[in-house]
Amino acid sequence: MYSIILAGGSGTRLWPLSRAASPKFLHRLGGTDQSLLQATAARVADMSDPDRVYVVTGVAHAAAVARQLPHVPERNILVEPEPRDSLAAVALAAAVVAERDPEAVMAVYSADHLIGRQERFEELIGIAARAAETGVLVTVGIRPTRPETGFGYLHLADEVSPGVHRIVEFREKPDAETAAAYVASGEYLWNAGMFVFQARAFLAELERQRPELRAGIAAIAEAWDGPDQETVFGATWPHLEKISVDYGVMEGAAAAGLVTTVPADFPWSDIGDFHSLGESLDGDAAGNVVLTDAAVATLRSVQDSVVVSTTGRVVAVVGLRDVVVVDTEDALLVCPRERAHEVKQIVDVLKEQGHSAHV
């Protein structure tokens, strides 16, 4: 199996740690010494040999990606000339992989998600891969653990083979009431942006739904590995439709009955903000999640808090509960966990004020 890692997005809700120049996937946020990108690559290592691991990333982070993943061949690091959203990224990977291996089955992952229970993960991806061999597009949806309004949902239908269900449809981010009903019904999964399919099946569906984008990608793939690769890539890519893989292909494929899903019960988080980071990792005896490199963290009467530092400073927190403290070289954030999502507004204000280096 081929593993495609999408290493894009800046994750501004993890500001000041994560930002345009220093995106989420490059940071050690899993409580280990691996970045999220490295953890993602490690997660697929037993399923894909290094030459079957591909990363799609942007020009700003190509060097960092290459250095963080020394085992991934250079030709497998696909560097987009500019961001064109996830459909173009997945299509590029599918086309390049299909050029090299027309029978390829590929799994698509985000570089900045946390996933637990490795054995269960491999088991379910294996089920998805076998389902994909029949030519359907398979999503790996997550059993919801809360009525989250920040995710899209998949509406499950009947089981077509053990562990594999048909999908009625993709649902966009719901309001709180709808989300609660989804969770209560047991018929909905979170759309975690995790897909498994044959490269050629995906490209066929792309051809059916987005022929222009398919043509552009085909031109790029044809020139790939040849003398005109950069010229064709640079001339074609910026004109590709900018749309997500969900809206651009998966929803239409689901409507055509071409999508199935594998409901997954392993721990999963997209680490949407520092609050959810705290939810995703095991805390210490006081419930604190402390991620520090060289920093000396001194917590005194602190509970259920998230403390992150990338500096060598002493970080002293006293007498607080449910707070987030994030300490980086050029910016500092202090807020309650329940307002951690508001850092996006802070970033907007900083942008308006012209502090572009800090966002």
Measured CA to CA in angstroms, residue 344 lies from 20, 340, 351 at distances of 12, 9, 11
C-alpha 332/C-alpha 344 separation (Å) is: 14
In the list 51, 228, 293, 342, the residue contacting its own copies (rule: CB under 8 A) is: 342
- Residue 21 contacts its own copies per CB under 8 A: no
Site string for its own copies, 317-336 (x = CB under 8 A): xxxx--x-x-x-xxxxxxxx
Under the criterion CB under 8 A, does residue 286 sit at the interface with its own copies?
no
Check binding of 130 to its own copies (CB under 8 A): no
Residue 220: closest CA among 208, 195, 203, 205 = 203
Number of Cα atoms under 13 Å in the Cβ half of residue 151:
27
Smallest gap from residue 98 Cβ to its own copies (A): 46
With a CB cutoff of 8 Å and minimum separation 6, the contacts of 268 are: 113, 114, 115, 116, 142, 190, 192
**Nearest in space to 45 (alpha carbons), one of 80, 5, 6:** 5
How far is it, in rounded angstroms, from Cα 35 to Cα 122?
Answer: 20
Stretch that binds its own copies, among 1-9, 161-169, 274-282, 298-306 (CB under 8 A): 298-306
The neighbour count for residue 188, using CB atoms within 10 Å, is 24
Specify whether the CB–CB gap between 18 and 10 falls below 8 A: yes
Q: Can residue 315 be called a binding residue for its own copies (CB under 8 A)?
A: yes
Pick one of 65, 259, 349, 351: the residue that binds its own copies (CB under 8 A).
Answer: 349
Q: Which two tokens stand for residue 198?
A: 């044959």
From the list 145, 185, 231, 345, which residue makes contact with its own copies (rule: CB under 8 A)?
Answer: 345
314 lies in the binding site for its own copies (CB under 8 A):
yes
Cα 53 from Cα 281, distance rounded (Å): 26
Question: Which segment (78-86, 117-125, 215-223, 341-349) binds its own copies by CB under 8 A?
Answer: 341-349
In the complex, the smallest distance separating the C-beta of residue 290 from its own copies, rounded to whole angstroms, is 13
Check binding of 346 to its own copies (CB under 8 A). Answer: yes
Torsion sign over Cα 73, 74, 80, 83: positive
Nearest to its own copies of 59, 296 (CB atom):
296
Within 176-235, the residues that bind its own copies by CB under 8 A are: none
In the complex, least distance from residue 330 CB atom to its own copies, rounded to whole angstroms: 5
Interacting residue ranges for its own copies, rule: CB under 8 A = 16, 296, 298, 300-301, 309, 312-320, 323, 325, 327, 329-336, 338-339, 342-343, 345-346, 349-350, 353, 355, 358
